[in-house]
Amino acid sequence: GENVEQHPSTLSVQEGDSAVIKCTYSDSASNYFPWYKQELGKRPQLIIDIRSNVGEKKDQRIAVTLNKTAKHFSLHITETQPEDSAVYFCAATATGFQKLVFGTGTRLLVSP
């Protein structure tokens, strides 16, 4: 079945810097790759997603890129702010496209 690996597990940046989180997946049939942000004590919230027929998608300061050949996708956050501090999870569709497999999360800390 699908396996998703996520790196790094923790990432510390200074306010204003960029942050990049990377994920790899194993099932070449996966076609949907969402990213979730989870603030401390809160629920995971969908912040951006990308389909397999698109190479890049942007939404203000966040962007996601997908390399289907290498089976990896990345989250890019530019001009980071303290409120970007959270745990970020990537995910990919599992066989049958009815469910997701999540990575183990990246804790992002943005220092003022």
List interacting residues with another protein (CB under 8 A): 6, 32, 34, 36, 42-46, 49, 89, 91, 93-94, 96-105
Shorter beta-carbon distance to another protein: residue 48 or 110:
48
Shorter beta-carbon distance to another protein: residue 51 or 61:
51
Q: Is the peptide bond before 8 cis (omega within 30 degrees of 0)?
A: yes
What's the CA gap between 107 and 27, in Å, rounded? 25
The CB-of-68 to another protein minimum distance in angstroms stands at 17
The CB-of-24 to another protein minimum distance in angstroms stands at 14
